């Protein structure tokens, strides 16, 4: 489970005066890895290097331990890819699209069963006989993911897989990706949807202006960029004395009062929630929820693009 499936070792791509890299990170077997960055940052170039579509100007890229340029067929065997803007023939049905994809990787007698399996997996089996041209953008996106899943690949490279999906479609793919990783599959997922990355990905990398700014977990990025973790407390009956007591809890840096509770900034690495919960209930207030702050990765992402990331 700890073997590197994807590896960027000082990879650089030069386009005239524009430089992408050096990019340095690896993705382990069974990991869901989030690749972040604004448009034009170099994410797509890195994905193209990984898929053997672009040759690095310097450094190395490996996929399954192989050079995707020199050993293109072998490296890409067992890899499924879903592009950001899938170009799927509109006159075909999803079943026909997937049957064609299955035949291209050598599946024969299992095509019908395999097509049904992946349509079910992405939640569009009832649209299997509908022309692609009549599907919504979100349905086409799910079909693109289904195409990547044909043949049970060991690795998925997904460029904005959640784009255009409604909440139900997003939830369906989220669970499908988790199940895929639980079964030992590896996912590299490029995305602008920070809430999905925060929820799904065990580790992330951030690239901006061609430079890799960060590699680690979402929590580590939040801590490095924002300098603290956030706790959201919702409670009834919070008195000024209780709020002052929360401010004195070890590790608490700042407490902001709102109409329905408190936003508490805590020094990274200190778990203050049990202490705060006991303090509130012990003082006779009604604790409704106490949880990590929401949209923290999004806040850190925006701040990192604005001011960079301080070294830990």
How confident is the model over 99-157, as pLDDT tens digits? 998 888 888 778 888 899 999 999 999 999 999 999 999 899 999 999 999 989 999 99
Characterize the bridge pairing of strands 4-15 and 58-63.
Answer: antiparallel
The per-residue pLDDT for 310 is: 59
- Using one digit for the tens of pLDDT, what is the confidence trace for 182-219? 999 999 999 888 888 988 999 999 999 888 999 999 88
What percent of the chain stands above pLDDT 70?
98
The per-residue pLDDT for 293 is: 74
Cα–Cα distance list, 280 to 129, 228, 268, 284, 291 (Å): 57, 22, 22, 7, 14
* This prediction's pTM: 0.83
The per-residue pLDDT for 2 is: 59
Residue 118 in contact with residue 146, Cβ under 8 Å? yes
For residue 1, pLDDT over 60 is answered with no
For residue 263, pLDDT over 80 is answered with yes
For the four alpha carbons of 132, 138, 142 and 148, in that order, the dihedral sign comes to positive
The per-residue pLDDT for 311 is: 55
Beta partners for residue 233, in sequence order:
262, 290
What percent of the chain stands above pLDDT 90?
57
**What domains appear along the chain, each with residue ranges and CATH number?**
4-221 (3.40.50.300), 222-307 (3.30.70.100)
Cβ-based neighbours of 156, under 8 Å, separated by 6 or more: 79, 80, 81, 82, 148, 149, 177, 180, 185, 186, 187, 188, 189
Residue 85 in contact with residue 32, Cβ under 8 Å? no
Average pLDDT over residues 44-54: 94
Q: Which tokens go with 271? A: 């778990």
For residue 80, pLDDT over 70 is answered with yes
Residue 186 in contact with residue 180, Cβ under 8 Å? no
Chain-wide mean pLDDT for the chain? 89
Average pLDDT over residues 81-98: 90
User: Three-state SS for 23?
Assistant: strand
For residue 16, pLDDT over 90 is answered with no
Question: How close are the terminal C-alpha atoms of the chain, in Å?
Answer: 27
Beta partners for residue 104, in sequence order:
none
- Using one digit for the tens of pLDDT, what is the confidence trace for 272-312? 999 999 999 999 999 999 988 777 888 888 888 888 775 54
In which band, very low, low, confident or very high, does the pLDDT at 26 lie, cut at 50, 70 and 90? very high
Average pLDDT over residues 16-28: 90
Q: Which tokens go with 53? A: 């579509």
For residue 12, pLDDT over 90 is answered with yes
Closest to 244 in 3D by CA, of 233, 235, 257: 257
Average pLDDT over residues 148-171: 90
């Amino acid at each position: 489970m700890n073997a590197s499936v994807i590896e960027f070792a000082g990879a650089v791509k030069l386009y005239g005066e524009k430089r992408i890299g050096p990019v340095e990170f690896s993705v382990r077997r069974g990991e869901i890895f989030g690749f972040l960055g604004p448009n034009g940052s170099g994410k797509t170039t890195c994905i193209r290097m990984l898929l053997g579509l672009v040759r690095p100007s310097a450094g190395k890229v490996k996929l399954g331990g192989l050079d995707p340029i020199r050993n293109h067929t072998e490296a890409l065997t067992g890899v499924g890819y879903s592009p950001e803007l899938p170009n799927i023939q509109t006159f075909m049905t999803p079943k026909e699209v997937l049957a064609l994809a299955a035949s291209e990787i050598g599946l024969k007698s299992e095509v019908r069963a395999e097509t049904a399996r992946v349509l079910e997996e992405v939640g569009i089996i009832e649209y299997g006989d509908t022309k692609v041209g009549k599907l919504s953008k979100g349905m086409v996106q799910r079909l693109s993911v289904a195409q990547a899943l044909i043949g049970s690949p060991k690795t998925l490279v997904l460029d904005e897989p959640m784009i255009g999906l409604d909440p139900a479609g997003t939830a369906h793919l989220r669970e499908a990706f988790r199940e895929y990783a639980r079964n030992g599959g590896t996912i590299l997922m490029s995305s602008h949807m920070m809430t999905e990355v925060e929820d799904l990905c065990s580790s992330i990398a951030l690239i901006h202006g061609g430079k890799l700014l960060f590699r680690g977990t979402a929590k580590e990025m939040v801590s490095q960029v924002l300098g603290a973790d956030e706790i959201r407390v919702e409670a009834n009956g919070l008195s000024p004395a209780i709020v002052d007591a929360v401010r004195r809890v070890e590790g608490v840096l700042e407490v902001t009062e709102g109409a329905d509770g408190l936003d508490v900034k805590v020094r990274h690495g200190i778990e203050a929630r049990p202490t705060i919960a006991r303090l509130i209930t012990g003082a006779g207030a009604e604790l409704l929820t106490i949880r990590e702050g929401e949209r923290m990765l999004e806040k850190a992402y925006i701040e990192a693009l604005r001011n960079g990331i301080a070294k830990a």
